[in-house]
Amino acid sequence: MDRSSEVTLIDRLSPLVFLALFIAGTWPVLEGIGARWLKFDESYSHGYLVLAVSLFFSVRKWQETRPVAGFYPLWFIPLVLSAFLYLIGGILLIEAFQQVSLLPLLISGLLVLWGWKQAKDFFLPIGVLLFTIPIWDYLAWYLQLITVAVNQFILSWLDIEFIVEGIIVYFPGVGAFEIAHGCSGLRYLLVGLTLVVLYSELNLSRLRERVLLCVAGVILALVANWIRVFVIIYVGYESNMTSSLIHEHDFFGWWVFAGTLVPLFLFARWLERRERPTTLSRAQSDGASRSSVGVKLLFSLSVVFIALSWWTAPGRDDNSRGTLKAHENPFAGELSEWLPMFQDHLLGWQPTIDRPDRSFGKTFFLRGNSESGSGNGERVFLGLYSYDYQRPGREVVQYRNRLYVPEYFLPNVTFSVPVSPSEDLAGMRLKALGGEREIYVAYGYYVEGLWETNDLEAKLAQLPGIFNSRTDASLLVIGFVCDECNGAERLKAMVPGIKKAAQNYLDRLYN
């Protein structure tokens, strides 16, 4: 074997060896991301399709450029920093750190192997995977608030009486809509960004046109979600909450998103024609036309894939998965006047929590208020759900963890539940669809020794938790019903003692 063939063999094998080492070293995190991609009712269901596209473009780019393997030690600095961030995330059990470091690890490794001039051609084919990594959930809360504000503005122009409380739009005498995580528009945003980036890679060369197309993609993706949410809210209001669209909003949303792709395509083609010189040869024009047809086909396949994913979405209210351990009753001291009932729900309501490591959920009735517990006296549900440490699919804040099943219950009022002068829990009043009974609920997240009241803050609470030795995350839920009392005020009176008992118990357990 001569020297030239030996170099060629090294050039071919070195990226494969590096990729194999990367996969082996980060496999636990990659496996968790792959599991998220298989959840078709979440924001990352396009993951495997994007992975296939990324591999296709990366291989094609390698065949075009044929990079020569070498050694560029300057790029060891970002490689080591990325590896350090990944290692810290593993030690502190902060999965977001590990997920964020994946692409920098991969790209900086290629820079060490190929150098800047050769590796930069692979930045976009590999970088498109950024839109499939589950780190975008932190945007969901802000997107929910923006969606609420937009719909509040639109509804204010109509002759409709409504009240907005947080992310709840309440129509007195009709019902309420929660602009939940799935209504944030995150799925449309990520899919839209993926499509416009791929289109830019194939058909646009100038940075200005690429940025303009990305901005247009973001705007139209968000507009599609705003239209979807408004139509569902308005139809629900006009139909007195009886329209089938309320229960089929996912499928409807993808049709709206597909409609917004039409002006996006037209704008992309206009940018392409503006960028392309007027004196193209016929062969170049034919090649560009074939490329455009290929991209349109890719767009169509992506939309069809994600639209069809709704039909195969797994059930969201599956409680069949058991827990590993049961919490002992941490509220015995607070329930001296209450007797347990032989049920783990309150008027058919209970939180839906996916695979906690420890759980406690039980209903109690006030002694003397009902002899058997079957009457309509004061009853309270206490739920405490804990994860010893958070990892993929076992997190206190995730799409499958829900305080209620929206097919059966809807919140019509939200409020704060004061616990101390400087601390509150979140509260809501739930009403069963088709029923008159109301359930008053208070809840809070206790993450690594810190109490939080919304999803985003509970996610971010892992960061200050770095400075202590705890890794636990728990959800405390308190539900209350009564016949002839002020349910909200009665709940507020009970919560401080119950919260303190839960905190003392969790501190003993995890410290």
**Could you identify the residue written with the tokens 């990305």?**
214
Break the chain into its structural domains and give their ranges.
3-132, 137-309, 325-510
Contact 370, 363 (CB under 8 A): no
**Amino acid letter, 319:** N
Q: Which two tokens stand for residue 462?
A: 């892992």
What is the C-alpha to C-alpha distance for residues 22 and 83, in angstroms, rounded to an integer? 11
Q: Helix or strand or coil: residue 279?
A: coil
Contact 174, 241 (CB under 8 A): yes
What is the C-alpha to C-alpha distance for residues 409 and 439, in angstroms, rounded to an integer? 10
Pairing type for strands 163-165 and 325-326 reads unpaired
**Could you identify the residue written with the tokens 């001039």?**
117
User: What does the pLDDT profile of the chain (511 residues) look like in tens digits?
Assistant: 444 444 467 777 888 888 888 998 899 899 889 988 988 777 888 899 899 989 998 998 888 888 888 888 899 899 999 999 998 888 777 788 889 999 999 999 999 999 999 999 999 899 999 999 988 988 888 898 899 999 999 998 988 888 887 777 878 777 677 787 778 889 999 999 998 988 888 888 888 899 999 999 999 999 999 999 999 888 888 887 677 776 666 678 788 888 888 899 889 889 888 876 543 444 454 444 444 444 454 455 444 444 444 444 433 333 334 445 788 888 888 877 788 877 788 888 999 998 899 999 998 887 654 444 444 478 899 999 999 988 777 889 887 888 988 778 888 888 899 998 888 999 999 988 777 788 999 999 999 999 999 888 888 887 776 777 788 999 999 999 987 788 889 999 999 999 999 999 999 999 8
**Quick one: 91 exposed, middle or buried, by C-beta within 10 A (0-12, 13-18, 19+)?**
exposed
**CA nearest to 80, candidates 98, 113, 105:** 105
Contact 497, 505 (CB under 8 A): no
Q: What is the pLDDT of residue 143?
A: 92
Q: Write down how long the chain is.
A: 511
Q: What is the pLDDT of residue 248?
A: 65
Q: Helix or strand or coil: residue 143?
A: helix
Q: Helix or strand or coil: residue 443?
A: strand
Instruction: Classify residue 436 by its DSSP letter.
Output: -
Q: What is the pLDDT of residue 329?
A: 84
